[in-house]
Amino acid sequence: MRVRRLRAREFRTYARLDAELGAGLTVVHGRNGAGKTNLIEALYFGCTARSCRTSNEREVVRFGAAATHVDLDLEDVDGVAHTLSVGFQPGEPKRLKADGADVERLLDVTSRPLVSVFLPDRLELVKGPPALRRAHLDQVIAAAWPARAETRRIFGQAVAQRNALLSSIRAGRASRASLPAWDAEVARHGVVLRDHRAEACELLAEPFARAAADLGLAGEAAIRYRPRTHASSAEEFAAELAERVDGDLERGFTGHGPHRDEIVLARDGRELRVFGSQGEQRLGLLALLLAEREALADVRGALPLLLLDDVMSELDPVRRRKLAERLDGPGQSVITTTDLAHVPGAEAATVCRIAVRDGAALAEPADGAATEAA
């Protein structure tokens, strides 16, 4: 599934945005503040109905406008055209359409392109707390095996229920008698979630090491799953929970289980999160996204649309070329830059030039823009 055309109205800096994407690499070129990241975000919003930049979605609506719309023209592997449309007015439910028909969630739409995004502020994923990496890995799992998203959801609910019960027991409003039922529930879904994560990390391990080496991250890069529980069965995990119940009651929450797991990204055995330089963390993040792309291609037979915001400016020329070589294969990618000379292969790519006129950003047609900008 590829995106042929992105149209948006009243999205961030864009009163109107109309951009065509190439089948391979598309380079979005414009000066600082021109609206490059906004275009990446609009693409992401069109694919997922969510922002990749903010959890406060009303920020995406253009200043002074009441609502925003993003429309995508898609083409599947057989050349059949599809459309996705997201309408958003703050305070109202989003209006989502696939091929013109209303849908409740884009997640269920099979003609939706998978999308993977690199933003400079996503470095948090490497250097931030484990919860971010868990959530990210769980999203990769959901993209690779959609049916598994349900396990994650039910597990989260079970932990929340158990925590609520712990609070009630602490407050003297409930007895311990109902705890074993929730231990069993947490354990039943917890072991499955752990196995899903282990499988995903295993799938990512080799492509991650290879992508990191390709990008010139010195030393041996590794991704390692560090689960809290090594129980071989749900019963064993439930027993572990029961053993720790006094501590849980003291704390008021469940201290053991997959909701406390860590996914370690390491270089020569040392955690990038702790010991990596900013540059190494950046390469680690990029390698992770490239590895996920490969893994998704293996499992789903489809390459996700790869959105890379402002990545070249931080890389030296050798690494720029390495990255460009990877993007030169099958699959669609979009990369933003202030300087076309930073993107090896830009001559052969579709170039979308962003100009600002009367305070509004305009994405100019690809035709001629490359030569004009060069």
Binding residues (CB under 6 A) for ligand ADP: these are: 12-13, 30, 32-38, 59, 61-63
**Residue 230 is which amino acid?**
H
Task: For residue 4, give the 3-state DSSP assignment.
Answer: strand
CB of 54 to ligand ADP, least distance (A): 9
Buried b (16+ CB within 10 A) or exposed e, 40-72: bbbbbbbbbbbbbbeeebeebbbeeeeebbbbb
Q: Which is nearer to ligand ADP, 55 or 110 (CB)?
A: 55
Q: Indicate which single residue of 2, 10, 11, 37 sits in contact with Mg ion (rule: CB under 5 A).
A: 37
Pairing, β 221-226 against β 115-118: unpaired
CB of 338 to Mg ion, least distance (A): 9
CB of 59 to ligand ADP, least distance (A): 6
CB of 331 to Mg ion, least distance (A): 23
Which of Mg ion, ligand ADP, none does residue 35 bind (CB under 5 to 8 Å by kind)?
A: ligand ADP
Q: Which is nearer to ligand ADP, 92 or 250 (CB)?
A: 92
- Those residues whose C-beta lies under 8 Å from the C-beta of residue 99, and which sit 6 or more positions away, are 82, 83, 111
Stretch that binds Mg ion, among 36-44, 174-182, 300-308, 359-367 (CB under 5 A): 36-44
Tell me the sheet residues that pair with 335.
27, 308
Which of ligand ADP, Mg ion, none does residue 59 bind (CB under 5 to 8 Å by kind)?
A: ligand ADP
Stretch that binds Mg ion, among 31-39, 135-143, 175-183, 228-236 (CB under 5 A): 31-39
Stretch that binds Mg ion, among 7-15, 28-36, 174-182, 250-258 (CB under 5 A): 28-36
Q: Which is nearer to ligand ADP, 59 or 150 (CB)?
A: 59
Specify the long-range contacts of residues 55-60, CB closer than 8 Å, at least 24 apart.
Answer: 57/88, 57/90, 58/90, 60/11, 60/12, 60/88
* Separation of alpha carbons 326 and 304, rounded Å: 14
Token look-up 């390692």 returns: 224
CB of 159 to ligand ADP, least distance (A): 36
Q: Which is nearer to Mg ion, 36 or 162 (CB)?
A: 36
CB of 127 to ligand ADP, least distance (A): 22
Q: Which is nearer to ligand ADP, 13 or 350 (CB)?
A: 13
* Separation of alpha carbons 139 and 151, rounded Å: 12
Q: What is the 3-state secondary structure (H, E, C) of 67-81?
A: CEEEEEEEECCCCCE
Three-point CA angle 345, 23, 118, nearest 5°: 70
CB of 25 to ligand ADP, least distance (A): 18
Which of Mg ion, ligand ADP, none does residue 26 bind (CB under 5 to 8 Å by kind)?
A: none
Which of ligand ADP, Mg ion, none does residue 163 bind (CB under 5 to 8 Å by kind)?
A: none
Specify the long-range contacts of residues 175-182, CB closer than 8 Å, at least 24 apart.
Answer: 176/245, 179/242, 179/245, 180/238, 180/242, 182/158
How far is CA 248 from each of CA 161, 162, 184, 190, 228, rounded to the nearest angstrom? Answer: 13, 10, 16, 17, 15
Query: Which is nearest to 94 in space by CA: 82, 105, 80, 81?
Result: 105
Q: Which is nearer to ligand ADP, 37 or 229 (CB)?
A: 37
* Separation of alpha carbons 245 and 254, rounded Å: 8
CB of 111 to Mg ion, least distance (A): 29
Q: Which is nearer to ligand ADP, 13 or 281 (CB)?
A: 13
Q: Which is nearer to ligand ADP, 115 or 142 (CB)?
A: 115
The answer to whether the beta carbons of residues 137 and 261 sit under 8 Å apart is no
CB of 308 to ligand ADP, least distance (A): 12
Which of ligand ADP, Mg ion, none does residue 13 bind (CB under 5 to 8 Å by kind)?
A: ligand ADP
The answer to whether the beta carbons of residues 258 and 194 sit under 8 Å apart is yes
Pairing, β 350-357 against β 360-364: antiparallel
Q: Which is nearer to ligand ADP, 163 or 333 (CB)?
A: 333
By CB under 5 A, tell whether 281 contacts Mg ion. no
By CB under 5 A, tell whether 337 contacts Mg ion. no
Q: Which stretches of the chain bind Mg ion, using CB under 5 A?
A: 36-37
